[in-house]
Amino acid sequence: MKVRFQNTFHRGAVRRFLLLFSVFLLLSFCLVSIPVSAQKMSDGFDPESQLSAVLSIGALQPSELYARNSDLVLEIPGVARLMTLYIALEKLPSDEMIPISDLAARYDRDERRDDRYVMRAGEPLPLRYLLLRMIFNNSDAAAIAVAEKISGSQSAFVVEMQRTASLLGMNQTEFHALDIARAERESEVPQEITAAVEAYEQFHDSNGALPLILPEAGQTVRTAKTTLRDIMRLVTTLLNNTRCKAILSVTDELVQITSGGVVQIVPVRSPANHLITVSENRISTAYLSLSDRYSLLCCWGMTPENIPVTTVVAHLRQTGIMQPTLQFYSALDVFYTKDSLTNAGGKYPGASEKAANGELFDLVYLDSVDYIHPKADHFLEETLDYLGNAPYPIPVQKGAMTGQVVFTLRDGVQIPVRVGSDRDILAGSSLISRGLLLLQDNPNLAYTILGFTLVLCVGFVIIITRQSFKLRYWCRLQRVEQTTESARSILLGKKTMTDR
């Protein structure tokens, strides 16, 4: 009986030990430090929008303002035109003349809508005209002419496009063709596009009550597949290139070309011209590519309340993309605002800096910087980071940059602002320079010395004035005495002559 009791006790102790050990393991897994992702600025912002996929970031800082289906890999042919534009302007000068090959001329015959503007084999055409024709008219012929000038062939240029995408960090992007318009015409619409249209119609019929879940691109893509985040990387790069932005900012233009020995004026117009006009030119730069896969709209500009944003949109239809985009821009104003982060000349609240001669000086902001944030939250970290390299060699000039103050948003985005000295630090260490520095640091002392100097000056003026009057009086007396002496001499001379 005693042995049985001891065995039962030992078995119960083992069970309790195993139970406690299991609880300990469970707690240890739960308490393991899990990396916390940065807070998104767009948290809490869910506008009603009929757009299939959209990604919007601030133009003042690259904070995500809104994203829907931005990480899905979709078949978006228009990205090939943007990549061709970027590579062409990176590798060719603006005034380059592009020879037209037999292949480009054949493509031109297939896509030509007006016999007045013919691309003839062997004749050169301006690079600017070909790029405008490519992005405005979705011209395969223009794209092939540019690609052959750069890489020699279509296939080699597609390899160049893929290589450039990797350099830009577009890791989800694959290019399958340069002649995307022809690839669309000669291939069937993929099944995932049909499924996406059905999902979009259900989303539209429910007025946004159902989530919009789009199927990703499959293995039958003939044009290009990418994500909106990859496209945003490319668009940001294009906007930072002055020549690329100038091309994308064109709404309509008359281009002069020579075809068949005859000078012609060719009108070109952007498909996004109507969007820019309806927005009252708040949207200043836009690219629109219509497709029976995903149409692509990229635009940069201001919301009605002047918040600068960059937006890329992928839409399943070739219509109904402009008005929802403008409505989305208005919705941004409801949630976000633009505020001043620093003002030029404003004092930096941190510690003073030191010059090489030991003099201390305060820092002031050299730039006026604005940033975007939710209306209900300034979205700034509490601490500021200062990057400097003291002591600074003299002379230190007022307004010259000595370092940077870095503001950090809660989504991890950093905004650097230049700072510099609030005054001049003179090169000499003489008594005069030290006195001037002392006066700059102590305005009250400077005002006291100035007042005392004014009092002394007034006293000197009074004394000099009084002495001037005395001197004038003395001069008059001297003149009177001289006159008297002269008269006395004359009288004495006459008396002497009379006595004789």
**pLDDT tens digits along 155-202:** 999 999 999 999 999 999 999 999 999 998 888 888 877 887 777 777
In a domain, 129, yes or no: yes
Q: Which of 155-164, 210-219, 358-367 bottoms out in mean pLDDT, i.e. has the lowest?
A: 210-219
> Residue 4: its pLDDT value, please?
43
Verify that 168 and 227 share a domain, yes or no.
Answer: yes
Rounded Cα gap, residues 13 and 239, in angstroms: 71
- Give the pLDDT band (50/70/90) at residue 13: low
Alpha carbon 292 to its chain centroid, in Å, reads 33
Q: pLDDT: is 443 or 369 the higher one?
A: 369
Contacts for 87 with CB less than 8 Å, ≥ 6 apart: 150, 157, 160, 161, 164
Verify that 143 and 170 share a domain, yes or no.
Answer: yes
Residue 296 has pLDDT above 60, yes or no: yes
- Indicate the average pLDDT of the chain: 83
> Residue 8: its pLDDT value, please?
46
Verify that 109 and 191 share a domain, yes or no.
Answer: yes
> Residue 33: its pLDDT value, please?
39
CATH number of the domain to which 287 belongs: 3.40.710.10
Verify that 242 and 203 share a domain, yes or no.
Answer: yes
In a domain, 182, yes or no: yes
Of 321, 336, 351, the position where a domain reaches its end is 336
Residue 210 has pLDDT above 50, yes or no: yes
- Give the pLDDT band (50/70/90) at residue 500: low
In a domain, 460, yes or no: no
CATH number of the domain to which 372 belongs: 2.60.410
Identify the CA nearest to 266 among candidates 256, 258, 276: 256
Residue 108 has pLDDT above 70, yes or no: yes
Using alpha carbons only, give the angle 122, 126, 129 rounded to the nearest 5 degrees.
115
Q: How many other CB atoms are found less than 10 A from the CB of residue 162?
A: 16
Residue 247: exposure state from Cβ atoms within 10 A (0-12, 13-18, ≥19): buried
Verify that 331 and 350 share a domain, yes or no.
Answer: no
Rounded Cα gap, residues 42 and 25, in angstroms: 37
Verify that 212 and 98 share a domain, yes or no.
Answer: yes
Of 397, 429, 461, the position where a domain reaches its end is 429
Verify that 316 and 352 share a domain, yes or no.
Answer: no
Verify that 92 and 165 share a domain, yes or no.
Answer: yes
Residue 133: exposure state from Cβ atoms within 10 A (0-12, 13-18, ≥19): buried
CA dihedral 362, 366, 368, 373 (to 10 degrees): -60
Report how many domains make up the chain.
2
Of 307, 336, 365, the position where a domain reaches its end is 336
> Region 355-376: what's the mean pLDDT?
89
- Give the pLDDT band (50/70/90) at residue 27: very low
- Please tell me whether residue 77 adopts helix, strand or coil conformation: coil
Rounded Cα gap, residues 235 and 39, in angstroms: 24
- Give the pLDDT band (50/70/90) at residue 150: very high
Verify that 226 and 293 share a domain, yes or no.
Answer: yes
Between strands 385-388 and 401-408, the pairing is antiparallel
Rounded Cα gap, residues 198 and 259, in angstroms: 47
pLDDT tens-digit readout, 300-354: 999 999 999 999 999 887 788 899 999 999 999 999 999 999 999 999 988 888 8
Verify that 368 and 408 share a domain, yes or no.
Answer: yes
Residue 310, H or E segment:
strand 308-315
> Region 141-154: what's the mean pLDDT?
93
Identify the CA nearest to 151 among candidates 101, 116, 203: 101
The label of the residue with tokens 């991890």 reads: 412
> Region 468-489: what's the mean pLDDT?
80
The label of the residue with tokens 């090489």 reads: 356
In a domain, 468, yes or no: no
Name the residue range of residue 266's domain.
53-336
> Residue 34: its pLDDT value, please?
38
Contacts for 139 with CB less than 8 Å, ≥ 6 apart: 107, 108, 111, 130, 133, 181
Verify that 312 and 405 share a domain, yes or no.
Answer: no
Query: How is residue 58 written in tokens?
Result: 């601030």
In a domain, 278, yes or no: yes
In a domain, 218, yes or no: yes
Verify that 242 and 170 share a domain, yes or no.
Answer: yes
Q: pLDDT: is 454 or 37 the higher one?
A: 454
In a domain, 72, yes or no: yes
